[in-house]
Structure 1
Amino acid sequence: MEQKSVRESVVSTWINDVTPSLSGLIAIPALSPAFDADWASTGHLAAAVQHVKSYLEGRDLPGARIEVVELEGRSPLLFVDVPATPGATDKGTVLMYGHLDKQPPVGGWSEGLDPWTPVIRDGRLYGRGSVDDGYSGYAASAAVEAVHAAGGEHARIALLLETGEESGSPDLPAYLEHLSGRLGEVSLVVCLDAGGMDYDRLWLTTSLRGMVHLTVTVQLLATAQHSGLASGVVASSFRILRQLLERIENAETGEIKLSELNVEVPASRLAEIEAVAEVAPEALRTAFPLVSGGKTVSEDALELLLNNYWRPTLSIIGGEGLPRPAEAGNVLRQSTTLTLSFRLPPTADAEDALAAIKRALTTDVPYGAKVTIAEDQQAENGWNAPEEAAWLTDALRRVDDEVFGRPHRAAGMGGSIPFMGLLGEKYPEAQFLVTGACGADSNIHVPDEWLNLDYAQQVTEAVAHLLDAHARS
């Protein structure tokens, strides 16, 4: 395809159509089901789906079928089915993915900004869900329109926009099973829920960490006791829990000790990470708002990238049993509860990891304390991309030259996208293009979330070229 036509189509669509409609989507407080137990009655998820559906119905997507799919008891999904162009009817299905549900608003937005009020400043579109991941359906449709405008080709497109990603995509497997007969043979997966270190080049995500979540309670006393009378005789439940955690994590270094949670980094991924360290040596070290004088766990860029992409970590994300300081009396509490969140290497087995963690927490417990692990445990595998096909390598080089003017980079991501692991298992022969407009400073999940509009347009251009290249492969 001729680059000038692609760019003109994308830019025009984004300025005249996408940005106004995306702004309207931001205004809908479509919290993910995990954050809105009454989502079915509040109707915000349904409103978000209808908003995007109405937009897509007005676009030039020849032969497209656009429908809301809603299985009983599950949050809705928007399914867009666009037939292949005449020259690409034998290229299988391109499965494109995004989500419309959002994280909670969170307080502390800057003056003049609000999670549900779209604001454009200096080329940034602010608002919850702007970059995570409201823009994705718009970018996907704009890319398909650009292919048509430039006389290109594309295989059959199946766009899935779910409404439960921020809750761990609990309903997505059921929808994939429900739609499996209609999806056909998926040969390319395009996920637009990622990004990279800067806005200067295309970033590909080639691995995602898995995760294990569990809540553990340690109890030694049947009832709380006066700390002056019982301390030194009865161990603190907090200290016992600290001892158990030390079996799993080196408190000084953060290293996870259990072999089931550690893997060897593949040589190809290590080479990618080394290349990222060269072009963005300060990206992770400066990405997060540390207190004055605060430091990251290492000054070395490569170590930080390996830690974030391929090494297991433990974060304590919740607790119970500790009173607020103003209410704390001289009491030896009967129990301590902590919620543990582990991030796993992309190729680690999450179920094996969970079993190893539970063994470490429940075997030979000090002082005979009672350990209870709550039933709501999570164990999700990560994802490691398949080897890149020659056509995709060639197409990416063209995108590098014509769209961004510099080489793309591929890297892992410390977070999880459950959809990718699921699709990796379901479509092992497919190629995967996991990219997006999110930058290291896009503030997803926190105050002042924003979308870089110019970069989002470039990503859209890149996707259009890659769809055409896939159709001609």
Structure 2
Amino acid sequence: MNAPETLPPLDPALLGEFVDTAWRERIVPQLVDYIAVPAKSPMFDADWSAHGLIDRVVRDAAAWVEGRKVPGLRLEVLRLEGRTPVIFFELDATKAGSTQTVLMYGHLDKQPEFSGWRSDLGPWTPKIEDGKLYGRGGADDGYAIYASISAIEALKAQGVPHPRIVGLIETCEESGSYDLPAYLDALKGRLGDVSLVVCLDSGAGNYDQLWLTSSLRGNITGTLKVEILTEGIHSGDASGLVPSTFRIMRMVLDRLEESQSGRLLPAAFHCEIPTDRIAQARATAAILGDEVWKRYPWACGADGGFTLPTTTDPVEALLNRTWRPTLSITGVDGMPALANAGNVLRPYTAFKLSLRLPPLVPGHEAAVALKALLEDNAPYNAKVTFEPDGRMDNWGATGWNAPSLAPWLEQSMDRASRRHFGAPLGFIGQGGTIPLMNLLQQGFPAAQMMVCGVLGPKSNAHGPNEFLHMGYGTRLTAAVAEVIAAHP
């Protein structure tokens, strides 16, 4: 009888040294170049194909991966007609008897510039300061493909066997991943039996331990427009007779949101919060305390103190931003700048809405219900339209509630957190949306999910002064390598 195979142990110190060198010498320089390219997502750059910026960052990333010459790695840039490109890579298993696949995910498209950047910073001008790399897209989440490949390299450097690994790097995530289902369908026969998804597009409660995302909210974005006139007219002549489109807008939004509390009124946009998620919120609140709400850049209030959140209870704060629906107004049209605002009653007002949905509320159904709620029976018979973003058959993004953790995964993540961060694994729900996770959960219902990321306190993805905490990214990369090595 043959002796059982003896697997080489993974040395965490050597692993840490490898990924530290990888980040310092290879990943950070590549991210500096990446940040400088304004590769905005298609929703924010309708002519993305002609501009060629998304194609540029895809080519740069693919060339970097191929230049690493990872043994056995095969890479393709896939381009379906009329759709944003996807990078797909794969490696065969080197672990004896392994038949399952680890899927690694990230994206290379970016949010637009936004305003309010520090005078010495900018979205496309990378800057390293105090261990942070500033600029748009580095943390959300251009680093993912480089960290994923470096984690694989770290295992191979020690001769540690690994399961089959595939990578999927898309360029439509910030637009709702509407191109991704077509690629998942095209790759159906090549993805394999996915038993673990490693997604590096999420956040962290602090920079002191590994954080696992337990849930993600869904999202509906779109433009709500109220029209009352065909052109602007003198406000002294018309006000009091012609209703203000801003007032009509308020009346319409009052159907959706209770303005005093911010609570969304339709029951269809709420769901029951699972008891285990409430318990995790309590445990996380015990770790983070008031930092749950103090982490935000509060303005100076009327009395000289700071402005206040909706609640200072850490548990309620966590649940509000992860399991309760919330409306935000993220853009406006039809209003002149203050310097150009004359005495004119404006013909229309348009708001860009972003409605975050609890993880268990279907996004498309909620978008259809929202459109009917806002458009029906318009005050003053005004022309009220709500146009959700995305394709008509794919409005809204459904959130995600993580499946129960397999013991091996929880133990390996906790061990990796203690080894590389010196603290146990933490669990936290995220208020953002990663459309892929719900798609993969449906396609691979038995798969385990390791959803993590570098978006910790003040990292400010999508806003001004976005940064990537390089030390956290380094340790996260080591943790990913440990988890892949522990895959049964």
Which residue is 1:393 aligned to? 410
Aligned-partner SS, 1:305: helix
- Asked whether 1:414 is paired with 2:423, we answer no
Q: Work out the CA distance in 2 between the residues paired with 1:177 and 1:452.
A: 35
Structure 1 residue 463: deviation in Å?
0.5
Q: 405-414 or 43-52: which moved more?
A: 43-52
Contact 2:333 2:349 in 1 (8 A): yes
Which residue is 1:83 aligned to? 92
Aligned-partner SS, 2:396: strand
Contact 1:272 1:409 in 2 (8 A): no
Q: Work out the CA distance in 2 between the residues paired with 1:74 and 1:113.
A: 32
Which residue is 2:162 aligned to? 154
Question: Mapping of 1:120-199 within 5 angstroms?
Answer: 120-199=128-207
Q: Work out the CA distance in 2 between the residues paired with 1:374 and 1:340.
A: 10
Q: 1:354 to 1:100 in 2, by over 3 A?
A: closer
Q: 1:355 to 1:36 in 2, by over 3 A?
A: closer
Q: Work out the CA distance in 2 between the residues paired with 1:299 and 1:437.
A: 25
Corresponding pairs, count = 470
Q: Work out the CA distance in 1 between the residues paired with 2:280 and 2:186.
A: 37
Match of residue 328, structure 2, among 303, 311, 315: 315
Aligned-partner residue type, residue 132 of structure 1:
D
Structure 1 residue 190: deviation in Å?
0.4
Q: Work out the CA distance in 2 between the residues paired with 1:329 and 1:210.
A: 40
Structure 1 residue 220: deviation in Å?
4.4
Which residue is 1:211 aligned to? 219
Question: Mapping of 1:45-444 within 5 angstroms?
Answer: 45-90=54-99, 92-221=100-229, 226-293=234-301, 294-374=307-387, 376=389, 378-444=395-461
Q: Work out the CA distance in 2 between the residues paired with 1:197 and 1:100.
A: 23
Aligned-partner residue type, residue 173 of structure 1:
P
Q: 254-263 or 375-384: which moved more?
A: 375-384
Q: 377-386 or 23-32: which moved more?
A: 23-32
Structure 1 residue 81: deviation in Å?
0.8
Q: 279-288 or 213-222: which moved more?
A: 213-222
Structure 1 residue 167: deviation in Å?
2.0
Q: Work out the CA distance in 1 between the residues paired with 2:423 and 2:262.
A: 36
Q: Work out the CA distance in 2 between the residues paired with 1:239 and 1:143.
A: 55
Any unmatched runs of 5+ in structure 1? Answer: none
Q: Work out the CA distance in 1 between the residues paired with 2:106 and 2:245.
A: 44
Q: 1:217 to 1:184 in 2, by over 3 A?
A: same
Contact 2:202 2:452 in 1 (8 A): yes
Q: Work out the CA distance in 1 between the residues paired with 2:375 and 2:234.
A: 27
Structure 1 residue 246: deviation in Å?
1.2
Q: Work out the CA distance in 1 between the residues paired with 2:118 and 2:342.
A: 38
Question: Mapping of 1:445-464 within 5 angstroms?
Answer: 445-464=462-481
Q: 339-348 or 103-112: which moved more?
A: 103-112
Contact 1:136 1:192 in 2 (8 A): yes
Q: 1:218 to 1:160 in 2, by over 3 A?
A: same
Q: Work out the CA distance in 2 between the residues paired with 1:444 and 1:416.
A: 12
Structure 1 residue 384: deviation in Å?
0.8
Contact 1:308 1:413 in 2 (8 A): yes
Which residue is 1:39 aligned to? 48
Contact 1:69 1:79 in 2 (8 A): yes
Aligned-partner SS, 1:87: coil
Q: CA RMSD in A?
A: 2.2
Q: Work out the CA distance in 1 between the residues paired with 2:216 and 2:296.
A: 20
Q: Work out the CA distance in 1 between the residues paired with 2:388 and 2:22.
A: 48
Contact 1:194 1:205 in 2 (8 A): yes
Structure 1 residue 360: deviation in Å?
2.6
Structure 1 residue 225: deviation in Å?
5.3
Aligned-residue identity in percent: 47
Contact 1:209 1:344 in 2 (8 A): yes
Structure 1 residue 352: deviation in Å?
3.0
Aligned-partner SS, 1:336: strand
Q: 401-410 or 426-435: which moved more?
A: 401-410
Deviations 1:386-441 (A, max 9, x none): 11112112212322332222111111111111111211111111100000222122
Which residue is 2:24 aligned to? 15
Aligned-partner SS, 2:255: helix
Contact 1:60 1:145 in 2 (8 A): no
Q: Work out the CA distance in 2 between the residues paired with 1:447 and 1:238.
A: 28
Q: Work out the CA distance in 2 between the residues paired with 1:315 and 1:299.
A: 20
Any unmatched runs of 5+ in structure 2? Answer: 1-9, 302-306
Q: 1:236 to 1:20 in 2, by over 3 A?
A: closer
Aligned-partner SS, 1:211: strand
Structure 1 residue 326: deviation in Å?
4.4
Structure 1 residue 83: deviation in Å?
1.1
Contact 2:222 2:354 in 1 (8 A): yes
Q: 296-305 or 251-260: which moved more?
A: 296-305
Structure 1 residue 443: deviation in Å?
2.7
Structure 1 residue 247: deviation in Å?
1.7
Q: 320-329 or 273-282: which moved more?
A: 320-329
